[in-house]
Structure 1
Amino acid sequence: MSRPTRAIIDLTALRHNYELAQQLTGGGLAMPIVKANAYGHGAILVASQLDTMAPAFGVACIEEAMELRAAGINSPILLLEGFFSEDELQLAAQHNFWLMVQNRNQLAALATVKPATPLTVWLKLDTGMHRLGFDPAQAARLHAELQSMPAVADNIVIATHFACADDLDNTFTDQQIAQFQRHTQALNTLSSLANSPALLGWPQARSDWNRPGFMLYGQSPFSHDHPLASRLKPVMTFRSEVMALREIVAGDSVGYANSWTAQRNSRIATVPVGYGDGYPRHAANSTPVLINGQRARLVGRVSMDLITVDVTDLGPVAIGDEVILWGKDLSANEVASYADTIGYEILTRLHNRVPRVIATSQAPVPS
């Protein structure tokens, strides 16, 4: 027997979420975003499952793309951050990596490189996020400049990224869409605007290429209920088991720094999971977990390898009983809220020492 802490990956749910994303494109294409180890779910596992369904994948950088190629993933892969040095351009041509171009240095490199085959390029416009990309007013000139380069293939895509799409009451997304359309509508080129919240909540942002990420893994990008987000199915169940039980009396403390003190005689379960596995260290006392399907609350500080849970009111609890840290009936978003963070972070921080296990076979898979 091994340490029972593991992430159960439901591939049926993954396929369901991708199919929903594709339906929402309205005839466009849905590119699964598998950066950051597929948001903690296992990039190789996720891409292998979607490789015959998806037209391409998106990752942050060439290192993530090379990992997928080494695992036999053959679909085109977009480098969302583009390239950082000219030597990456030959690799991009060799392995069919697509490049997001967002600064003048990248343009200059493309103007002089002579790759074995022309490179597929996405042109990034900054419509208000103010991290990466060119002034939208330069779109026509930059598009023409790229078209003139022998190193660049004809299928240029113009893209942008939204700052506030997860807030459906914020009109800034409408402003970004309007600015993008104003400067690109006269160009004969493909476009890409929608990330997960835009694909779900901003129909006017859906276009030729759409970039679902967080939603693929069954998580809502919104802070409130949304009819389309409610159709998503969580892909990961992060689970463990009770490894120890003890009775304490009122006045006893639990964990480092005596940060929680029992106000009554209590029963405490110890669970082998901690921040070394990616469970959020700053999860507060009262963070929910499920033990035998019942809600219990975290007490004491999260340590590297262990947490402690008050099970006084749960009825019979035994060593070996199942503990769900997050999953179908306890969302990663809810757990994250107790740690003053977001579901995106706690999923992507899941450590590689946690085995990813396919739900149907329970067989360990690559992470």
Structure 2
Amino acid sequence: MSRPLIADIDLGALRDNYRLARDRAPHSRALAVLKADAYGHGATQCALALADMAPAFAVASLEEAVALRDAGITQPIMLLEGFFDAAELPLIDAHRLWVAVHSDWQIDALLAYHPRQPIPTWLKLDSGMHRLGVAPEMFVARWQRLKAASTQVTALHLMTHFATADALDPTYFRRQMTCIETLRQRLEAPICLANSPATLAWPEAHGDWTRPGVMLYGSDPLEGANDASRALKPVMTLRSELIAVRELATGEVVGYGGRWKASRPSRIGVVACGYGDGYDRHAQDGTPVLVEGQRVPLAGKVSMDMLTVDLTDVPEADVGSRVVLWGEGLSVDEVARYCDTISYTLLTGLLPRVPRRYRNAEMM
């Protein structure tokens, strides 16, 4: 019998979440973000599941895009960070990719290259994230330069990224929107602004395109949930089983460092899952785990291949009992809070040794 840990990927839920993103911004096209192997879910399988729905996809690198092309994905694919070296441009041209550009050296390289056909290009504005992008006072000149290069560039769009679209306080978001709107009106530019939180919560940011990411995989990115974010469905359920049950007396400790100490006679269950699989080693005692659908607390430090839970209040649990680490019935967002992190790190951190099992592919 193989190790019982699997990541159960519900492609039907993925499609439902994409549909929600599309319905939330009915006058926009939704660019489905598949970077980081579709946030750990499997980029090829997720792209195929969305192939009849999404007009385009987005990834972080040329390698990610080429892997999708090799798998038969024909939709446009946007390189969200553009190219990292001018030597990538022939492959970008050959695979008919779209590029974001955020720096003068990229603009220079793009305009020095002679593609077989003009490359769809989105110019990134630094509207306040201060990570990538052209400063507002320099943006018009760069836009006009790209706009004039009709043999190299086509379908020019303005894009940017929000620093606080997930936050309850709208002050900084509105400051960014003011910057964006000033340039959009001046240039009459088509825009792509809305990430997952802006798609869910800020209709004024929807524009010509949205680019939903983590929401497609069922994680709520908002600091304060709304009706739309509460309707998201988990796509990944990380499942395992109990592989051992131990009886401990009051005062006995569990795991490395003896961090957890039994305050009463206790039953401890050992789950086949650990940080060697991508479960966060920083999970606190009390982090929720489902055993046969009942919540039990993590008890002790996570090990490389195992973690331990307190089964004292679930006497029927035994070896072979089903375990959910996150997913159906237990939000990955809640687990992430106990690990002092965010759902993105848990989902993208799931390691290759965990088998992905896909279901509802027949709905495609």
Give, in whole Å, the separation in 2 of the partners of 1:163 and 1:230: 22
> How far is the alpha carbon of 1:178 from its aligned partner?
1.1
Q: Deviations over 1:167-202 (max 9, x none)?
A: 032311111111101012132331111000001111
Q: Tell me the residue number matched to 1:83.
A: 83
Give, in whole Å, the separation in 2 of the partners of 1:114 and 1:183: 29
Is 1:232 paired with 2:250? Answer: no
> How far is the alpha carbon of 1:51 from its aligned partner?
1.4
Q: Tell me the residue number matched to 2:193.
A: 193
| Helix, strand or coil at the partner of 1:219 | coil
Gaps of 5+ in 2: none
Q: Tell me the residue number matched to 1:210.
A: 210
Give, in whole Å, the separation in 1 of the partners of 2:101 and 2:36: 20
Contact 2:114/2:152, CA 8 A, preserved across alignment:
no
Q: Tell me the residue number matched to 1:365.
A: none
User: Aligned letter for 2:207?
Assistant: S
TM-score where L is the length of structure 2:
0.97
Q: More deviation in 151-160 or 3-12?
A: 151-160
> How far is the alpha carbon of 1:328 from its aligned partner?
2.5
Give, in whole Å, the separation in 2 of the partners of 1:352 and 1:185: 46
Is 1:73 paired with 2:66? Answer: no
TM-score where L is the length of structure 1:
0.96
| Helix, strand or coil at the partner of 1:23 | helix
Give, in whole Å, the separation in 1 of the partners of 2:194 and 2:345: 20
Q: Tell me the residue number matched to 2:286.
A: 286
Is 1:248 paired with 2:263? Answer: no
User: Aligned letter for 1:18?
Assistant: Y
Contact 2:269/2:309, CA 8 A, preserved across alignment:
yes
> How far is the alpha carbon of 1:150 from its aligned partner?
4.5
| Helix, strand or coil at the partner of 2:308 | strand
Give, in whole Å, the separation in 2 of the partners of 1:59 and 1:184: 25
> How far is the alpha carbon of 1:63 from its aligned partner?
1.2
Is 1:306 paired with 2:320? Answer: no
Q: Tell me the residue number matched to 1:134.
A: 134
Give, in whole Å, the separation in 1 of the partners of 2:247 and 2:284: 22
| Helix, strand or coil at the partner of 1:92 | helix
Contact 1:137/1:183, CA 8 A, preserved across alignment:
no
- Let me know the Cα RMSD of the aligned residues: 1.4
Q: Tell me the residue number matched to 1:48.
A: 48
Q: Deviations over 1:274-321 (max 9, x none)?
A: 111110110001100000000001011101110001101012112111
Contact 2:193/2:209, CA 8 A, preserved across alignment:
yes
Give, in whole Å, the separation in 1 of the partners of 2:9 and 2:299: 28
> How far is the alpha carbon of 1:361 from its aligned partner?
7.6
Gaps of 5+ in 1: 363-367
| Helix, strand or coil at the partner of 1:130 | coil
Q: More deviation in 112-121 or 240-249?
A: 112-121
Give, in whole Å, the separation in 2 of the partners of 1:361 and 1:88: 34
Q: Tell me the residue number matched to 2:97.
A: 97
Q: Deviations over 1:25-83 (max 9, x none)?
A: 23110011011111111111111111121111111111111111111111111111110
Give, in whole Å, the separation in 1 of the partners of 2:151 and 2:236: 41
User: Aligned letter for 2:46?
Assistant: V
Q: Deviations over 1:201-221 (max 9, x none)?
A: 111111101100011111110
| Helix, strand or coil at the partner of 2:186 | coil
User: Aligned letter for 1:40?
Assistant: G
Contact 1:56/1:78, CA 8 A, preserved across alignment:
yes
Give, in whole Å, the separation in 1 of the partners of 2:88 and 2:165: 32
Q: More deviation in 222-231 or 310-319?
A: 222-231
Pick closer, same or farther for the CA change 1:361–1:93 going to 2, 3 Å: closer
Q: More deviation in 119-128 or 162-171?
A: 162-171
Q: Deviations over 1:80-139 (max 9, x none)?
A: 111011111111111011111000110110121112221111100000000000012333
Contact 2:241/2:271, CA 8 A, preserved across alignment:
yes
Q: More deviation in 307-316 or 221-230?
A: 221-230
Q: More deviation in 271-280 or 151-160?
A: 151-160
Q: Tell me the residue number matched to 1:109.
A: 109
Give percent identity, aligned residues only. 49
Is 1:356 paired with 2:356? Answer: yes
User: Aligned letter for 2:358?
Assistant: I
Q: More deviation in 350-359 or 266-275?
A: 350-359
User: Aligned letter for 1:177?
Assistant: M
Give, in whole Å, the separation in 2 of the partners of 1:28 and 1:361: 26
Give, in whole Å, the separation in 2 of the partners of 1:290 and 1:82: 42
Give, in whole Å, the separation in 1 of the partners of 2:259 and 2:198: 41
Contact 1:274/1:281, CA 8 A, preserved across alignment:
yes
Contact 1:237/1:327, CA 8 A, preserved across alignment:
yes
Q: More deviation in 289-298 or 60-69?
A: 60-69
Q: Tell me the residue number matched to 2:146.
A: 146
User: Aligned letter for 2:310?
Assistant: D
User: Aligned letter for 2:173?
Assistant: T
Contact 1:113/1:151, CA 8 A, preserved across alignment:
no
Give, in whole Å, the separation in 1 of the partners of 2:90 and 2:23: 35
Is 1:264 paired with 2:264? Answer: yes
Number of aligned residue pairs: give it.
Answer: 362
Q: Tell me the residue number matched to 1:324.
A: 324
Provide runs of 4+ in structure 1 moved above 4 Å: none
Contact 2:31/2:58, CA 8 A, preserved across alignment:
yes
Contact 1:278/1:349, CA 8 A, preserved across alignment:
yes
